[in-house]
Structure 1
Amino acid sequence: MRSFILATATAIATLPLMVNAALGGACSVNGTPGVCLATATCNSGGGTHHTGFCPNDPTDIKCCTKTCSTGGLCRLVSSCPSGNTLVGLCPGPANVRCCLPASGCAGRDVSAATLDLIKTWEGFVARPAPDPIGLPTVGYGHLCKSNGCSEVPYSFPLTTTTATALLKADVKTFQNCISKDIKDSVKLNANQYGALVSWAFNVGCGNTASSDLISRLNAGQAPNTVASEELPRWNKAGGQVLQGLVNRRAAEVKFFKTASSAAGHPPSC
């Protein structure tokens, strides 16, 4: 179940983008990168729209800008110079993501035990199919971003081997957002970190970033206490409590509280 910019271009480079931008194309507002989107899409995704920077488009298409995560800006993946992007934090199509500064540290890779935890609760689906709340998924909880999950670089039906490779690629987004949103002064072992990555994989980076759980950790509260009290609150989908989410949160709390000598957070760089 699945329920997530850049050095300023020169005036010469950005002017064509401002003049010729199309729906879904890049734009710039006084040096701040954005994307030309319908105002309703921009607003519903928490962005700010600016008039006059997508001049060749209909009136309701405007340059949408949004800050995201720590020092990030929403922009087209193809124009993110660092290559360090997070999904689920920006309005617009799947190729609009939160682009983080090049100086940001990537989150540590989660342990095999964490991958097993995620696999247990996502389940294996060999071909794209709706999950319990109707979202098209494949493999171990990969949310399809295109018709037929055409972005997946493996043929269907997936094997458990190719599905695991897909999961390892997908989970990097959630490793990064957990690592970015939690202060480096907060020390977590590999299981604590892994439980939070599993949670983020399930509920999305946008939800975790604004959560009381992250705020409490950053305020210096005891991690085990915070996880025990906050993770169980994330048990609803569509406003309804789902027993599967109740059970998943309980498993993540148990995993979080399992001792480990391996480091999880902060990142090693």
Structure 2
Amino acid sequence: MKITAVSAIALATLSQLVSGYAINGDNVNCRTGPGTSYDVVRKYNSGDDVTLSCQTEGDAVRGDSLWGKTQDGCYVADYYVQTGTSNYVVDKCGSSGGGSGNTGGSGYCKNVNAATLDLVKDFEGFEPSPAPDPIGLPTVGYGHLCETKGCAEVSYSFPLTEATAESLLKDDLPKYSSCLATYLKSSVTLNDNQWGALTSWVFNVGCGNAKSSTLVSRLNAGENPNDVASSELPQWRLAGGRVFSGLVRRRAAEVKLFTTPSSSQAFPNCQ
């Protein structure tokens, strides 16, 4: 990504990552639901760490029917996650436990409004073909972080046009709105501008950092959303321990969007 879209790794100095579990196989599929018939969202390799927000029953894989929802908002078979047990280690998806929040239910807005798309596109910048960003991460389009060599997972032809890059961005963003929905309690109410600003932020910093953030914990504690966003978002301005002007500008733009009134609710129910 561009330096205005620094990865979760680069921003780890801002927030301690939640401890995770190691993946024990290569090319392990993480899917949109707990079964092998669901679409593959991303793949994990041996030694990768995943944080589980909740677990649920699904298709049996090698005799194990448990699936875990990861920090990327997708489901991976428990057989491939080294939890040390075949039983639940976190809350069941959809339970009232503290770990799963809204559990990514169908009520929230999976897509973001036009103002959010414009904000993300502006700060990510357009890259027609895979190229390393300033911290060396290969990206393409509007901030799509390549998951495979040459971004082979992208279904659009290179070089991308601005139109296909926007389509790719629209494909990418629901993953981040999904994990955001998982982390927030259903008692939190956000309009489409607030929801879009936070989705832009999660897209920038990564699901793991968002989950362990003070911003999310303060929202879940019932504090005023505008006050929380105005004080917490500007703190996410570092990369590699240094302040970057692009991140300062992006956080200011996200605060401005977040605090712009709107009558359209986006979370926990899309209206």
Deviation track 1:244-268 (CA, whole Å, cap 9, x = no partner) reads: 1011001100110001111111134
Pick the structure with greater CA Rg.
Answer: 1
SS of the equivalent of 1:259 reads coil
Kept in 2, the 8 Å contact 1:122–1:141? The answer is: yes
Q: CA deviation at 1:25?
A: 7.1
Deviation track 1:60-96 (CA, whole Å, cap 9, x = no partner) reads: xxxxxx65124479xxxxx9999987528999xxx99
Distance between the aligned counterparts of 1:128 and 1:151, measured in 2?
12
Partner of 2:52: 68
Distance between the aligned counterparts of 2:199 and 2:182, measured in 1?
12
List alignment gaps of at least 5 residues for structure 2.
9-23, 29-42, 58-63, 82-91, 95-102
Q: What letter matches 1:68 in structure 2?
A: L
Tell me the percent identity: 52
Q: What letter matches 2:7 in structure 1?
A: S
What pairs with 1:158-177 in structure 2 (closer than 5 Å)? Answer: 158-177=160-179
Match of 2:72 among 59, 64, 87: 87
Kept in 1, the 8 Å contact 2:73–2:176? The answer is: no
SS of the equivalent of 1:126 reads strand
Partner of 2:7: 3
Tell me: CA distance 1:149–1:80, structure 2 relative to 1, closer, same or farther (3 Å): farther
SS of the equivalent of 2:129 reads strand
Partner of 1:255: 257
Distance between the aligned counterparts of 2:173 and 2:123, measured in 1?
14
Greater RCO, 1 or 2 (C-alpha within 8 Å, sep 6+): 2
Match of 1:111 among 113, 124, 147: 113
- How high is the TM-score relative to the length of structure 2? 0.68
Deviation track 1:87-138 (CA, whole Å, cap 9, x = no partner) reads: 28999xxx99xxx959851441211111111111101100111112111000
What pairs with 1:258-269 in structure 2 (closer than 5 Å)? Answer: 258-268=260-270
- How high is the TM-score relative to the length of structure 1? 0.68
SS of the equivalent of 1:113 reads helix
Tell me: CA distance 1:245–1:67, structure 2 relative to 1, closer, same or farther (3 Å): closer
Tell me: CA distance 1:244–1:36, structure 2 relative to 1, closer, same or farther (3 Å): closer
CA RMSD of aligned residues (A): 3.6
Distance between the aligned counterparts of 2:115 and 2:195, measured in 1?
12
What pairs with 1:97-246 in structure 2 (closer than 5 Å)? Answer: 101=93, 104-106=104-106, 107-108=108-109, 109-246=111-248
List alignment gaps of at least 5 residues for structure 1.
5-21, 27-34, 46-65, 74-78
Distance between the aligned counterparts of 2:141 and 2:134, measured in 1?
15
Kept in 2, the 8 Å contact 1:111–1:190? The answer is: yes
Question: Which runs of at least 4 in structure 1 moved beyond 6 Å after TM superposition?
Answer: 79-85, 88-91
Kept in 2, the 8 Å contact 1:179–1:267? The answer is: no
**How many corresponding residue pairs?**
210
Tell me: CA distance 1:249–1:127, structure 2 relative to 1, closer, same or farther (3 Å): same
Q: CA deviation at 1:146?
A: 0.7
Q: CA deviation at 1:198?
A: 0.2
